[in-house]
Structure 1
Amino acid sequence: MKLLIPILLVFGILLINNFSTIDTNNIIITEKEVPPYTKWGKIAMKKTKVKYPQAEIIDFLHLGREKGTEYSVEKFKLWLKEDNREFGIFIDIKFNNETEQIVDIEYKESTQ
């Protein structure tokens, strides 16, 4: 037991010493790439708040993009809470590929 305490102290000192010698010159900070659907996600949330003004958006999921020759559809699922009810909203934003003008927005409620 008398030998165990000095050994633990030596290991503790070595461990602390290793933390203090971290070379901060080699740390590289990278910027996160902005996903291409960010613009459409903001629109989906904004339009959902207009359609469901009393609801709180508590979750957001990008489901993907269906790319067509002239039009594409960006798909999202938002999870909302309104009073004691929680529900999902599937949102499809159809837009012109060339102009990025919105052609249509579809909403479909879901309990899952």
Structure 2
Amino acid sequence: MRKILVSFLTATALVSVSSLPTVLTHSTNAQQKPIPPYAKWGRVAMERTHKKYPNAQIVDYLHIGRTPGANSSVEKFKLWLKEGQREFGVFIDIQFENKTEKIQKVTFKESTR
């Protein structure tokens, strides 16, 4: 009985270990996603929001979209903040030059929804 149990455990361990690299490879590949083009502007939105509301935690993040223009574009986000017992949304618009990506203006508008 002891030999059978040891053989079973050894065989199970070999199967588990031999399949481990395959499982890790597949799960690693499944987690890699391309970085969206708005990621840079999302970081700017969160940094600027943190400066404006230093005591608030960013609870949620939404990329609304981009409004393209001839010379400049506007990237739009909505962040959900929690400050103490208060929860509120903030719409952030980041206007930037298309060629240089230099930020021209960042605006904030609070929302209860």
Q: Distance in 2 between matches of 1:65 and 1:33?
A: 18
Which runs of structure 2 are paired with 1:22-61 in the superposition (5 Å)?
24=22, 27=26, 29=29, 31-61=32-62
| 1:98 partner amino acid | K
Letter in 1 for 2:51: V
Cα drift, residue 62 of structure 1: 0.2
> 1:67 matched to which residue of 2?
68
Which residue of structure 2 lines up, in the alignment, with residue 89 of structure 1?
90
DSSP-derived class of the 1:47 partner: helix
How far the C-alpha of 1:27 sits from its partner, in A, is: 4.6
Identity of paired residues, percent?
A: 56
The residue type paired with residue 107 of structure 1 is F
**Who wins on radius of gyration, i.e. which is larger?**
1
Flag structure 2 segments of 5+ consecutive residues without an equivalent: 1-15
Q: Can you give the 5+ residue segments of structure 1 that lack an aligned partner in the other structure?
A: 1-19
TM-score with structure 1 setting the length: 0.75
Which residue is 1:99 aligned to? 100
Alignment correspondent of 2:3: none
4+ residue runs of structure 1 moved beyond 6 angstroms? none
RMSD after superposition: 1.9
Give a deviation string over 1:45-94, Cα, whole Å, max 9, x none: 00000000010100000000001110000000000000110000000000
SS at match of 2:33: coil
User: Which structure has greater helix proportion?
Assistant: 2
In 2, Cα distance between equivalents of 1:49 and 1:111: 18
Q: Counterpart of 2:10?
A: none
Question: Is 2:109 the counterpart of 1:108?
Answer: yes
How many correspondences in the alignment? 91
TM-score (norm 2): 0.74
Instruction: Call closer, same or farther: CA 1:87–1:99 in 2, change over 3 Å.
Output: same
Report the AA paired with residue 65 of structure 1.
R
